């Protein structure tokens, strides 16, 4: 933003504000010290306004998210370990909440700091880069999935919960309960990044996935079905892409014939499950599921999750890693993007019986030729 303050015809002060945080001043006269107070006042007022705006957004979000029948002041005393008067000074706006206090409140009440920041900084969004720690891949991946599971359970409990996904990969939440498929996906990622020792051809067999990682994946696979309304748009090449990966590792002698037979069996079971859900248009618990097969290919996988209390969108990146945000503008953009893909797709849930039979039949033929 560029502000021009004209005091005389030959004296113009230019104040350039970057992200509303600091300013650069250029004077047209060297003896313009008497105008510096104008710049300082603009900077101070702007900083005060920004702090007040963030603080007010936080207070309004707390009031909206506090459980019914709970006194907000008493709750904040417990969360922040501060006295009653200190809490009320913050709620009246006399003293702003610190960043550490806002983080504690966010964790306890489920308030999105990213969304608050997005409201105050137009055109900006905060993203969480959910990258697995290479030094401790199993533990890090378990922590990532546990966080996802907690968020998913919070969303699924809402009677208006909804999710949609457009994917060019095997449906992640469904494949998680198939041990060989999930082991291969993790193995492929670790092999690419040299996180696993493959000096001999038995390295896939010797790779041991921790029990707690298997358990959290199975739990996630079940919890996704608790969402009340779900829509999947699948790239028709998703099984082909997966089979290409398997064939590559088979060609370099890192995937045995026994492993090939095991993963073929799991892929057949996965296709049976997906076809059953598509035919019924619901999960077995009665929650609605729409399934589309896209006639165009996707460059990556997108998804969004929403409820009355949370909006979240996700983009797959770097194999099994993700980028997520609760920024409402980004959420709406991802939601509109996924929904726009329906115009290129054929619905095979409940309706589209012939297309459904043809699609799953062709996928089974691909698996048989593995």
Instruction: Please tell me the total number of residues recorded for the chain in this structure.
Output: 370
Q: Rounded CA gap, 204 and 55, in Å? A: 52
In this structure, the answer to whether residues 22 and 85 fall within a common structural domain is: yes
Residue pointed to by tokens 């370099």: 252
**Residue ending a domain, choose from 76, 102, 120:** 120
Lowest mean pLDDT among 7-11, 77-81, 134-138, 348-352: 7-11
Q: Are β-strands 311-317 and 321-325 bridged in parallel, bridged antiparallel, or unpaired?
A: antiparallel
In this structure, the answer to whether residues 111 and 249 fall within a common structural domain is: no
**Residue ending a domain, choose from 120, 143, 169:** 120
Q: Which residue has the higher pLDDT, 68 or 296?
A: 296
| Res. 216 pLDDT band, cuts 50 70 90 | very high
In this structure, the answer to whether residues 137 and 176 fall within a common structural domain is: yes
Tell me the percentage of the chain whose pLDDT exceeds 70.
82
In this structure, the answer to whether residues 184 and 243 fall within a common structural domain is: yes
Among candidate residues 166, 177, 174, 189, the one with its CA nearest the CA of residue 313:
166
Lowest mean pLDDT among 123-137, 228-242, 275-289, 332-346: 123-137
In this structure, the answer to whether residues 319 and 296 fall within a common structural domain is: yes
In this structure, the answer to whether residues 98 and 155 fall within a common structural domain is: no
The mean pLDDT of 18-22, rounded to a whole number, is: 38
In this structure, the answer to whether residues 167 and 230 fall within a common structural domain is: yes
In this structure, the answer to whether residues 114 and 204 fall within a common structural domain is: no
| Res. 252 pLDDT band, cuts 50 70 90 | very high
In this structure, the answer to whether residues 273 and 310 fall within a common structural domain is: yes
Structurally, how many domains does the chain consist of?
Answer: 2
In this structure, the answer to whether residues 96 and 240 fall within a common structural domain is: no
Sheet-wide strand order for 11-18: 2-8, 11-18, 22-27
The mean pLDDT of 316-327, rounded to a whole number, is: 85
What is the domain range of residue 114? 2-120
Q: Taking 50 as the threshold, does the pLDDT of residue 27 lie above it?
A: no
In this structure, the answer to whether residues 343 and 295 fall within a common structural domain is: yes
**Residue ending a domain, choose from 60, 92, 120:** 120
Q: Which residue has the higher pLDDT, 92 or 38?
A: 92
How does DSSP classify residue 319? T
In this structure, the answer to whether residues 94 and 219 fall within a common structural domain is: no
| Res. 239 pLDDT band, cuts 50 70 90 | very high
The model scores a pTM over 0.95: no
């Amino acid at each position: 933003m560029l502000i021009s303050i004209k005091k005389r015809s030959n004296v113009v002060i230019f104040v350039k504000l970057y992200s509303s945080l600091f300013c650069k001043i250029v004077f047209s006269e060297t003896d313009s010290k008497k105008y510096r107070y104008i710049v300082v006042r603009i900077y101070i007022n702007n900083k005060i306004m920004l702090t007040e705006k963030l603080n007010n957004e936080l207070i309004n979000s707390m009031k909206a998210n506090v459980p019914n029948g709970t006194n907000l002041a008493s709750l904040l005393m417990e969360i922040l370990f501060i006295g009653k008067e200190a809490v009320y000074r913050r709620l009246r706006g006399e003293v702003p909440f610190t960043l550490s206090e806002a983080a504690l409140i966010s964790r306890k009440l489920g308030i999105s700091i990213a969304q608050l920041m997005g409201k105050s900084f137009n055109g900006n969004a905060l993203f969480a880069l959910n990258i697995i720690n290479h030094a401790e891949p199993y533990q890090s991946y378990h922590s990532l999935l546990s966080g996802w599971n907690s968020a998913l359970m919070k969303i699924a409990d809402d009677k208006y919960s909804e999710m949609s996904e457009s994917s060019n990969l095997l449906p992640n939440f469904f494949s998680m309960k198939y041990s060989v498929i999930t082991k291969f996906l993790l193995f492929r990622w670790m092999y690419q990044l040299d996180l696993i020792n493959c000096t001999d051809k038995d390295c896939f067999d010797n790779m041991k996935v921790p029990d707690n990682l298997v358990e959290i994946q199975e739990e996630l696979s079940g919890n996704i079905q608790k969402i009340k309304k779900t829509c999947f748009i699948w790239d028709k090449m998703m099984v082909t892409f997966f089979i290409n990966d398997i064939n590559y590792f088979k060609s370099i002698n890192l995937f045995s014939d026994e492993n090939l037979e095991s993963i073929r069996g799991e892929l057949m079971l996965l296709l049976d499950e997906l076809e059953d859900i598509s035919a019924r248009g619901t999960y077995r618990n009665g929650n609605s599921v729409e399934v589309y097969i896209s006639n165009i290919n996707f460059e990556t996988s997108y998804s969004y999750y929403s409820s009355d209390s949370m909006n979240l969108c996700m983009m797959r990146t770097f194999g099994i890693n993700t980028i997520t945000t609760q920024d409402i503008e980004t959420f709406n953009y991802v939601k509109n993007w996924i929904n726009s893909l329906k115009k290129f797709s054929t619905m095979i849930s409940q309706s589209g019986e012939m297309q459904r039979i043809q699609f799953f039949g062709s996928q089974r033929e691909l698996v048989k030729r593995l």
